[in-house]
Structure 1
Amino acid sequence: MSLLPSIVTQLRAAGCVFAEDEADLIVATATTPEQLAAMVEQRVAGFPLEHVLGWADFHGLRISLDPGVFVPRRRTEFLVDCAAERTAPGALVIDLCCGSGALGAALAASVDGGVELHAADVDPAAVACARRNLPAGAHAYEGDLFDPLPTRLRGQVAVLLANVPYVPTGDIALLPTEARVHEARVALDGGADGLDVLRRVAFAAPEWLAPDGALLFETSERQVPNAVATVRAAGLGVEIRRDEELEATVIVATAT
């Protein structure tokens, strides 16, 4: 007798809106009855589905995820698309605040011939995931923003992806439980106004970008005016990109 109806019932009772789809994924991923039971128990307890499965679907890739690591959001696929438009084969790309490495991996997969990819994150658990997810030849470093990157990259970067945390500290308590409880705070908390990490990235970016290079990052719509002012103060040109379907806002900040 199939366990699927019982699992669907348990997930639906726990508040999972897409209980049938989630049950299918859990059943397909589990390799033993014991693992299946443990996965259902975790999901019912509120763990993100991606942490339960051990992977996330992002931009057509299966991204390996460990517990506690930031789950890449579907809206952030727009950031990858914006970056791909200006990334030439073999371009030097940096993925800062890389988390699981989802953005860098997706961008590299989107560019015929690939890119020279370097990624960094302060969270050791995230870096461990990134090292599994990034393509062969890419490098993932543990450390604070630009600090662990090779100095030879200064002034050479064509595309600087920075999926900086941008949730204001006071809004962390308003996040869904899955994010607030089960994802690393350092991947979410952007300081009092949500722009603390962006400021550090933006003001350091000009010394890392090539003459025609660009910094690309995601932000909330309400933060756009202050985010734009920040990158302009850093001496960068600004283009605002939006995707209404994904409810995503990306700022492309170019070296001038």
Structure 2
Amino acid sequence: MPAHIPSPSPSAPLSPSLVVAALRAGGCVFAEDEAELILATARTPDELTTMVDRRVAGLPLEHVLGWAEFHGLRIAVEPGVFVPRRRTEFLVTQALTRVPHAALVVDLCCGSGAVGAALAAVLGRVELHAADIDPAAVRCARRNVTGHVHTGDLFEALPGELRGRVDILAANVPYVPTDAVALLPAEARDHEPLTALDGGTDGLDLLRRVAAAAPDWLAPGGCVFVETSEHQAPTAVEAFTRAGLTACLAESEELYAHVVIGAKGA
């Protein structure tokens, strides 16, 4: 039975201690921090009760709040949409460092559109295209992205006129091996779309497809950036090299992030 907090009367102040106690009883490790965010977001006592009940029932905090913090931005996140991970901020940083004057950016497997939104926020006047195969993600991305958001499978979603013009191709493809999806935390396994998690037998099916097609879409000097895991990284680098890209691996110990970068020659 989920923990539940009683609804305060309209005149009663919201009690942080009640919220913390309910979250802690529901198994939330960072109950104090989560309580602070929920209390700051809830507009009424009834909404507060509903939000705490949903969190205790196992919904990701970001789905409860309706937003996630990412690269200094507040990204709208809807139920059923992949929650942007803080480690993916490293991919954004790498893209901005290596292609600081990008004019055309594509965010493939965009989910909520967090990566594209973060890149555009720093780059300023940039042509941004985002795409996802999941209609729910596309609806959510349109709330976050000032640009073009397309529905479809990887490059099939993109307008043909982008071919050969992309300066930054960010592709946060799913990379969990199929057999490992069941081992993910329940928040991801039960509340995020399988298409955003399952990367095939070894987790690299979509990465290989991106690597194979990227050279046709990149502008001279353009780069593709894909997040992967530490143990998958060597195979991912090989896939980029085999596609004719100059490939390397960037790592962040702090975020435990691994980004494979493929550059097209000038």
Normalised to the residue count of structure 2, the TM-score between the two structures is 0.93
- Opposite residue 64 of structure 1, the aligned amino acid is A
Q: How has the CA–CA distance of structure 1 residues 211 and 190 changed in structure 2, closer, same or farther, with 3 Å as cutoff?
A: same
- Is the CA contact (8 Å cut-off) linking 1:161 and 1:217 kept in structure 2? yes
Partner of 1:206: 215
Counterpart Cα distance in 2 of 1:67 and 1:239: 35
Partner of 2:238: 229
2:60 counterpart (45, 48, 55): 48
Unaligned runs of 5+ in 2: 1-12
Q: Secondary structure at the match of 1:222?
A: coil
Larger Rg: 2
Deviations 1:22-77 (A, max 9, x none): 11111111112221111000000000000000000000000001101000001000
- Is the CA contact (8 Å cut-off) linking 2:73 and 2:118 kept in structure 1? yes
Partner of 1:124: 135
Counterpart Cα distance in 2 of 1:108 and 1:114: 7
- Is the CA contact (8 Å cut-off) linking 1:4 and 1:23 kept in structure 2? yes
What's the RMSD between the two structures over aligned residues?
1.1
Counterpart Cα distance in 2 of 1:110 and 1:223: 30
Q: Secondary structure at the match of 2:63?
A: helix
Counterpart Cα distance in 2 of 1:246 and 1:192: 26
1:27 counterpart (39, 57, 62): 39
- Is the CA contact (8 Å cut-off) linking 1:90 and 1:114 kept in structure 2? no
Deviations 1:67-88 (A, max 9, x none): 0100000100000000011334
- Is the CA contact (8 Å cut-off) linking 1:218 and 1:249 kept in structure 2? yes
- The percent of aligned pairs where both chains have the same amino acid is 63
- Is the CA contact (8 Å cut-off) linking 1:242 and 1:250 kept in structure 2? yes
Q: Secondary structure at the match of 2:129?
A: strand
1:133 counterpart (127, 144, 148): 144
Structure 1 residue 246, shift from structure 2 partner: 0.5
Q: Secondary structure at the match of 1:146?
A: helix
Aligned residue runs from structure 1 range 172-191, under 5 A:
172-191=181-200
Structure 1 residue 225, shift from structure 2 partner: 1.3
- Opposite residue 121 of structure 1, the aligned amino acid is D
Counterpart Cα distance in 2 of 1:219 and 1:168: 11
Aligned residue runs from structure 1 range 46-195, under 5 A:
46-89=58-101, 91-111=103-123, 113-135=124-146, 138-195=147-204
The yes-or-no answer on 1:238 pairing with 2:247 is yes
Structure 1 residue 114, shift from structure 2 partner: 3.1
Moved more, 126-135 or 40-49: 126-135
Normalised to the residue count of structure 1, the TM-score between the two structures is 0.96
Moved over 2 A (4+): 86-90
Unaligned runs of 5+ in 1: none
Structure 1 residue 211, shift from structure 2 partner: 1.5
Counterpart Cα distance in 1 of 2:249 and 2:125: 26
Moved more, 92-101 or 227-236: 227-236
Counterpart Cα distance in 1 of 2:14 and 2:247: 55
